[in-house]
Each structure stands twice: as structure tokens, then as C-alpha cells.
């Protein structure tokens, strides 16, 4: 099958009339299982086959996607015609940063592939977690959801690259919901991997804890709005670095904007000496990591901030050429329906030297945030919602509070990180990142605990 696809792709590419042309074809199979309350809610599978052609001519990009592989030669012509049409209007020089052509076949190196596990077993594992949630006191409902994807991606371009990659992705969420009167509260456990089905196993203690927190949140007050010193746990700190700095480092939003380039110039200081931030596609096992990105560029580890100073950006081949920097393997697309754009993979704050106890010391009134529901940024400001939060009073973790949503200015908040912990962990969760209508793209984060001064938190006023 793969040889047939390879032949089709390479033959179709020979008809390109553009400066540059690439073809990406995907075959994939997805499985989804979910429970809501005591009932199974969904068991479904999806088989997808599709591809796209992207062509560049005189600064104009043409992109077509399709489901019928037999249309491939016609689609190459269409993409090239679109690029030509745009190029005639633009007459602009846009190049792709040169990378060595590569021919590679990358079979999946999975620790335990999800597709090797019978559907019956997946359903059973989730059913057991669901039962565990529902057996917990005051838990009235649940949402247990799992999905996996197994794909083969074939990529070739007119530079002479041909790559086949086998990939897998899995993620899930185990949510406990407690209700009292007309109030419902929830807490959850999430998991994910690009190589190991077994990350779904052994979560019982965390599930019990989630059920306990959901129950306790019923009796917790909404946090009082204000400005606080905040400690973020590794999960939340990972979400913070993704939203607060990762997106800003994506060079396709800088490469044609002189003011943004100036703002994110190499050498600019945005944090203390202790702050190192990097994005990596090669940590191993995390969602979104693979050998090559969707332009056929090898993934790598890229430092964005070292010692508090900007040292790099995340690039596609186009943004790298425009900014005179090297491609970093960050051109990614959510599926064959979309062109690759600059996206993160595993984004991390490197470990520092502080213990959690050191961070607590000296905080008379603060907030300890554990885990996040999600976040968002518009470049300048960021926000994220906590899944659990506790007040800190006189240097000790105190009562649970609920509905905690934090915000800050990206630039000042990075400067306000005054302690970085020594307890680094990765976070792989369900869902993913959204940008340019491509969502959810699998990503991961990594961080130790961090402490930030002067974070604004929304909530009640008393």
C-alpha cells in the first residue's frame, strides 16, 4: 500500500509547475470511547484517507486538500495554478530555508501501541474508572473519555524529500462531577502519550483524589477577586509557559512585522537569570513529538529563553528564511485538510533550584494553583482557568477555593517569576492547542513549580 502511495505522490510531483511543491497524504484510524454517568455514551471508529498539495510561486501559496487519491495529479495542477495566480499579483520573493533532502521510512517506535489493544479491553478499563468515580461519596455523575489515533503520513516535496512516518496519539480525561442543590463541581484526571497505551493504567489513586476534590469544591467559596502571589504546580506552569510565551515565539506571527520582531529580538531580557524556556520535539513519549515535522524538517530541541534572555524562535522553513534563522521543525498541521503553520510541541520551563517549601515562605496571602482546564493568549495578555486552587495563608496551603481564573500581561508576568522549582515533570493531557482554525493539535508541556508575583485573579467581590 505504501509503495503505491509513494509512487503516486512522486509521479504527481513531477507535474509541478511551481517553484516549490509538496504533497502530504494521511491514512488514519481513530477510536473514541466515552461514558457519561453510568451509561456508555459513545463507541466509534473513523477511517480517514486524504491528502493535500501545497505549491509556492513568486511569493504566492496555493493549497488544495482532497479525499480521493486518484485526483492527485489534478490537485497538483490546481495548487500550482493557484500559486501562479497569486504570484502574478504579488511578485514577491519568498523562499524556504534550504534543508537537506531526506528519504526516510520511520516506522512507529511504540512502547505499547494503542491499536494493538482490543476495543473490548479499552472499554473495560474505562468502565472500571467510571465505576470508581461513581462509587465515590457525593459524586453524582462522570465524564470519562478516551481517544486514540493511528496514522501513516506520506510526505514528499520537489526538493527531493520523501518521508513516511507512522504515528500514534492517545489521550483521555476522567472527570468526577459532584452536585448539591443547584451547584455542580468537578475535578478530573487527564493523560496522553504518543507511544504508550499503558499511560492509561494505574490512575486509580488520582481518580479517587479527583472525586474527593470535586466533592470538597461543593463547599468551597468562589475566590475573592484580587492581585495575588501565586504558586503554579507543574501542570499549570506548563500551561502558563505554553500560553504566555510559547505562542509569542511562533515566528510566523513575527516574520513580517518589524515591531513584533523588535519586541521579541534575540538578546532581549524577559526574565530572571534562573529562567530557561525551550520547546522540543524530541523529549520522548510526549504528544505532538515525532521525527519530522509536516515540512519534512527534523524536529529538535529549541531554547527560546536562556538565563532570562531571548535566544531563539520557533520556525517553519518560510519564517526561518524570512528572519535569517534556522528552521526548528515546528511546521505542523492538524490534518491533511490544513497547511502546516508554526506550532509548539513539548514546551517547557527548565528546572530551577527552589523547593516547594521555600516558595511558600513569605507569602502571607496567596494562591496555590494545581492543574488547569485551559488557557488562551492574544500575544500580549494570557489567561487560564485552574482546575484546583487553594488559598495560601501565612506561608501554608489553606482552604480550597473554586472558579479560579488567572490573567496577566505576558511581558511583565515573565519578569515577575521570582522562584523556579526543582521538581520538573511533563504534562500530557486531553485536548490540544488551537491556532488559525487548527484545533486541537496534540502538544505537551513540562515544568517544575513556579512562583509569580502580582497575578490578577477574577472572582467575587466581598
Partner 1 sequence: MMVVEESKKRGIESCLVSQESRTTMLNFEFNRLKNIQDSEDVNHAVQVIRDGRLGLFTTTEADLTADFLDRAIELSQFGPAVDYHFPDPEDPGAPLIFDPRVRDMSLDTMMTLGEELIDFAKSLDPAANGSARIIKIHTKKSVQNSRGLSSSWEKTEFSVVLAVDFVEGQNLLQVSDFCTSTHLEYDLEGLKAQVKRDFDLARKNVPLSPGTYPVLFTPGAFMDLIMPILACLDGKAVVRQVSPLKGRLGESIFSPLLTIVEDGILDKGTGSNLYDDQGVRCRRTFLVEKGILREYLLDLETACKLGRKPTGTGKISRIAPNNLLVLPQDLSWKDMLKGIKRGVIIKDTMGAWAGNPYSGQVTGNIALGFLVEDGEPVGRVKDCMFSVNVFKHLKDNLVSLSRETKYTYGNALLPYALVDGVSIAAKT
Residue 340 CB coordination number (10 Å): 26
Q: Quick one: which of 345, 402, 435, 451 contacts partner 1 (CB under 8 A)?
A: 402
Give the residue with the Cβ less far from partner 1, 45 or 422. Answer: 45
17 is a site residue for partner 1 (CB under 8 A): no
Member of 8, 62, 241, 281 binding partner 1 (CB under 8 A): 62
Binding of residue 459 to partner 1 (CB under 8 A)? yes
* Angstrom distances, CA of residue 420 to CA of 269, 276, 349, 425: 17, 10, 9, 13
Rg of the chain's alpha carbons, rounded to an integer? 23
Of 6, 17, 43, 212, the one binding partner 1 by CB under 8 A:
43
Give, as ranges, the residues between 183 and 202 that touch partner 1 (CB under 8 A): 183-186
DSSP-assigned letters across all residues of 65-85: EES-GGGHHHHHHHHHHHHHH
- Interface residue with partner 1 among 6, 17, 49, 301 (CB under 8 A) is 49
Strands (E), 256-404: 277-280, 301-306, 309-310, 331-332, 341-342, 346-349, 365-377, 381-393, 396-401
Q: Which triple of cell numbers denotes residue 324?
A: 535569517
Question: Looking up cell 484517507, which residue turns up?
Answer: 49
Instruction: Based on the shown chain and the rule CB under 8 A, indicate whether residue 93 belongs to the binding site for partner 1.
Output: no
The three cell numbers of residue 168 are: 500514534
398 touching partner 1, by CB under 8 A = no
Of 6, 17, 58, 78, which lies in the binding site for partner 1, with binding defined by CB under 8 A? Answer: 78
Q: Distance (Å, rounded) from C-alpha 164 to C-alpha 10?
A: 13
Distance of CA 253 to the CA centre of its chain: 18
- Which of the residues 277 through 296 are near partner 1 (CB under 8 A)? none
Question: Using the rule CB under 8 A, which residue among 6, 17, 58, 63 binds partner 1?
Answer: 63
Using CB under 8 A as the binding rule, whether residue 119 contacts partner 1 is answered as yes
Q: Alpha-carbon distance 268 to 411, whole Å?
A: 11
Stretch of 62-70, 100-108, 151-159, 201-209 lying at the interface with partner 1 (CB under 8 A): 62-70
Which of the ranges 109-117, 165-173, 179-187, 392-400 carries the binding residues for partner 1, by CB under 8 A? 179-187
> How far is residue 364's CA from residue 420's CA, in Å, rounded to a whole number?
19
Residue 123 lies near partner 1 (rule: CB under 8 A): yes
Whole-angstrom distance, CA of residue 62 vs CA of residue 95: 14
Q: CB under 8 A: which stretch of 11-19, 108-116, 405-413, 440-448 binds partner 1?
A: 405-413
Residues 348-387 that bind partner 1 (CB under 8 A): 372-385
Question: In this structure, what C-alpha cell is assigned to residue 434?
Answer: 488551537
Considering the rule CB under 8 A, would residue 68 count as an interface residue with partner 1?
Answer: yes
Supply the DSSP symbol for 252.
Answer: G
Q: What share of the chain is helix, strand, coil (3-state, %, to 5)?
A: 25, 45, 30
141 binds partner 1 (CB under 8 A): yes
State the minimum distance, in angstroms, from the CB of residue 89 to partner 1.
6
Segment near partner 1 (CB under 8 A); pick from 7-15, 150-158, 291-299, 401-409: 401-409
Position 131 contacts partner 1 (CB under 8 A): no
CA distance 214 to 187: 5
Amino acid at each position: 500500500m505504501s509503495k503505491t502511495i509513494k509512487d503516486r505522490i512522486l509521479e504527481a510531483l513531477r507535474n509541478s509547475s511551481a517553484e516549490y511543491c509538496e504533497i502530504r497524504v494521511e491514512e488514519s484510524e481513530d477510536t473514541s470511547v466515552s461514558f457519561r454517568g453510568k451509561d456508555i455514551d459513545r463507541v466509534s471508529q473513523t477511517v480517514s484517507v486524504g491528502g493535500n498539495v501545497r505549491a509556492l510561486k513568486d511569493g504566492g501559496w496555493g493549497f488544495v486538500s482532497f479525499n480521493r487519491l486518484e485526483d492527485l495529479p489534478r490537485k497538483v495542477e490546481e495548487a500550482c495554478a493557484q500559486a501562479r495566480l497569486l504570484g502574478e499579483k504579488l511578485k514577491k520573493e519568498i523562499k524556504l530555508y534550504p534543508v537537506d533532502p531526506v528519504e526516510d521510512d520511520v516506522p512507529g517506535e511504540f512502547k505499547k501501541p494503542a491499536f494493538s489493544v482490543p476495543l473490548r479491553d479499552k472499554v473495560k478499563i474505562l468502565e472500571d474508572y467510571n465505576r470508581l468515580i461513581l462509587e465515590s461519596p457525593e459524586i453524582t455523575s462522570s465524564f470519562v473519555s478516551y481517544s486514540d489515533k493511528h496514522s501513516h503520513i506520506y510526505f514528499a516535496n520537489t526538493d527531493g524529500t520523501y518521508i513516511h512516518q507512522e504515528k500514534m496519539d492517545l489521550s483521555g480525561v476522567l472527570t468526577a462531577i459532584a452536585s448539591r442543590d443547584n451547584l455542580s463541581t468537578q475535578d478530573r484526571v487527564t493523560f496522553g502519550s504518543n507511544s504508550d497505551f499503558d499511560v492509561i493504567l494505574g490512575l486509580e489513586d488520582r481518580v479517587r483524589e479527583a472525586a474527593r476534590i470535586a466533592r470538597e469544591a461543593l463547599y468551597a467559596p468562589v475566590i475573592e477577586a484580587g492581585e495575588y502571589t501565586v504558586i503554579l504546580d507543574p501542570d499549570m506552569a506548563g500551561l502558563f509557559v505554553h500560553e504566555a510565551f510559547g505562542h509569542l515565539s511562533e515566528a510566523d506571527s513575527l516574520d513580517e512585522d518589524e515591531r513584533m520582531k523588535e519586541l521579541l529580538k534575540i538578546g532581549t531580557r524577559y526574565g530572571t537569570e534562573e529562567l530557561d524556556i525551550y520547546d522540543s520535539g524530541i523529549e520522548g513519549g510526549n504528544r505532538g513529538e515525532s521525527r519530522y515535522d509536516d515540512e519534512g524538517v527534523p524536529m529538535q530541541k529549541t531554547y527560546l529563553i536562556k538565563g532570562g534572555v531571548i535566544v531563539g524562535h520557533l520556525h517553519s522553513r518560510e519564517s526561518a528564511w524570512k528572519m535569517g534563522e534556522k528552521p526548528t521543525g515546528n511546521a505542523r498541521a492538524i490534518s491533511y485538510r490544513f497547511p502546516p503553520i508554526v506550532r509548539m510541541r513539548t514546551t517547557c520551563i527548565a528546572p530551577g533550584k527552589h523547593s516547594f517549601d521555600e516558595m511558600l515562605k513569605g507569602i502571607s496571602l496567596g494562591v496555590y494553583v494545581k492543574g488547569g482546564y485551559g488557557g488562551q493568549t492574544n500575544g500580549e495578555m494570557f489567561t487560564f482557568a485552574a482546575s484546583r486552587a487553594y488559598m495560601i495563608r501565612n506561608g501554608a496551603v489553606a482552604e480550597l477555593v473554586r472558579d479560579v481564573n488567572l490573567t496577566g500581561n505576558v511581558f511583565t508576568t515573565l519578569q515577575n517569576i521570582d522562584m523556579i522549582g526543582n521538581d520538573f515533570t511533563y504534562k500530557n493531557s486531553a485536548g490540544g492547542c488551537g491556532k488559525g482554525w487548527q484545533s486541537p493539535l496534540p502538544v505537551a508541556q513540562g515544568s517544575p513549580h513556579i512562583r509569580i508575583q502580582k497575578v490578577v485573579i477574577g472572582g467575587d467581590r466581598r
